[in-house]
Amino acid sequence: MGKQRDLSTRIVAQIQALRQQGLTQTKIAEQLGISQSSVCKALKKNCSKRTNCSGVRKTSARDNKQLRKIAVSNRFKSTSELTDLWNKQTGADVSRSTTYRRLRELCFKSRVPAVKPMLNKKQMEKRLKWAKEHGEWTAEDWQKVVFSDESRFCISFGDQGPRVWRRGGETYNHECVKRSVKFPQSVMVWGCMSARGVGKLCFLKKTVNAAVYQDVLETFLIPTVEEQFGEEDFIFQQDLAPAHAAKSTKDWFTKKQLEVLAWPANSPDLNVIENLWAIVKRKIRDRKPTTLDQLKQNIATAWEAVSAETCDKLVKSMPRRLQAVKQAKGAATKY
């Protein structure tokens, strides 16, 4: 394709005049019967000769305030969708790029939303109450706790999903987080840890009911606490999964004379082992396993490599986690 001819002085003047009237480059191109790239080139040449080449802003402070309201009310809309809503509500005729620039000026950035469990009002109230009840616990008190959890590890870690419009400090706002769903099929693992280090790791081969869970505790928890605590007292932490809360499981704890820490529902941000799972998963992601056997081996290797110092540091974060729950009034936190 040959080199495009330069526009005449008359056409360039028309482009500048239409631009001053607030028309977009696309509209100008359509009206003058030329390409949008030619309009852009002409405007750039004109800008190089001027101190201020921003042109007339198509939106007022009132329009921008309306955009802020639209963005806050439509966190998961795309820039194009926000542009359509803005044009309809204000009667403006702005482009997607203008909307994007105004959102940036309003301190909104498109980010992958944080994933947090859904919390209803009652659950948030119980989380807040629990945080207040344990607010006097010191880091030393938490060092007596053995944290536990199951986690699913996937060979493929999937994509990041939709993005969300938010401003600084809004990462964990209720309307800005993505709700989590069940993990895809892969390898389920049970583990435990305390400030003294990681415990025994168990690869679960079948659905975890009360009987299976009690067998896991007998085979993996008991040896761990005997090794880490000996005759010292400790408290066992678990979430409220059906197998954990079953009557037969409660009877098992009573028979073994094990103290279990009361735990609020849907509170992975309070369980420090969640951060430990994240550490292990990052290491496995770098190794890129391709088979289940490789995945299991990588999990075991990464788990055993976790130092006692790392575990102790995580446990010492508990007072800060409780404070974060109080400040959020029981809602999700950054942890």
Q: What is the pLDDT of residue 154?
A: 84
Q: What is the pLDDT of residue 130?
A: 96
Q: pLDDT tens digits for 89-135?
A: 988 889 999 999 999 999 999 888 888 888 999 999 999 999 999 99
What counts of helices (H) and strands (E) characterise the chain? Answer: 16, 10
CA-atom Rg of the chain in angstroms? 29
Q: What is the pLDDT of residue 46?
A: 63
Give residue for tokens 């004109």: 46
Q: Report helix, strand or coil for 109.
A: strand
Report which of 102, 18, 16 is spatially closest to residue 63, judged by C-alpha positions: 102
Q: What angle is formed at CA 83 by the lines to CA 80 and CA 88, rounded to 5 degrees?
A: 130
Q: Give me the amino acid identity at 85.
A: L
Token pair listed for 314: 């995580």
DSSP class per residue in 213-253: HHHHIIIIIHHHHHHHTTTS--EEE----HHHH-HHHHHHH
Bridging pattern class, strands 145-153 and 187-194? antiparallel
Give residue for tokens 């704890």: 253
* pLDDT tens for each residue of the chain, 335 residues long: 444 557 888 888 889 888 888 888 888 988 898 988 888 888 877 654 544 445 577 888 899 999 999 999 999 999 999 999 999 998 888 999 999 999 999 999 988 888 888 899 999 999 999 999 999 998 889 999 999 999 999 886 544 456 788 888 888 888 888 765 444 458 999 999 999 999 999 999 888 999 999 999 999 999 999 999 999 999 999 999 999 999 999 999 999 999 999 999 999 999 999 999 999 998 887 777 778 898 999 999 999 999 999 999 999 999 999 999 999 999 999 98
Token pair listed for 106: 């309003």
pTM over 0.75: no
Find out whether 147 and 192 touch, Cβ atoms under 8 Å: yes
Q: How many CB atoms lie within 10 A of CB 212?
A: 15
Q: pLDDT tens digits for 246-287?
A: 999 999 999 999 999 999 999 999 999 999 999 999 888 777
Find out whether 123 and 266 touch, Cβ atoms under 8 Å: yes
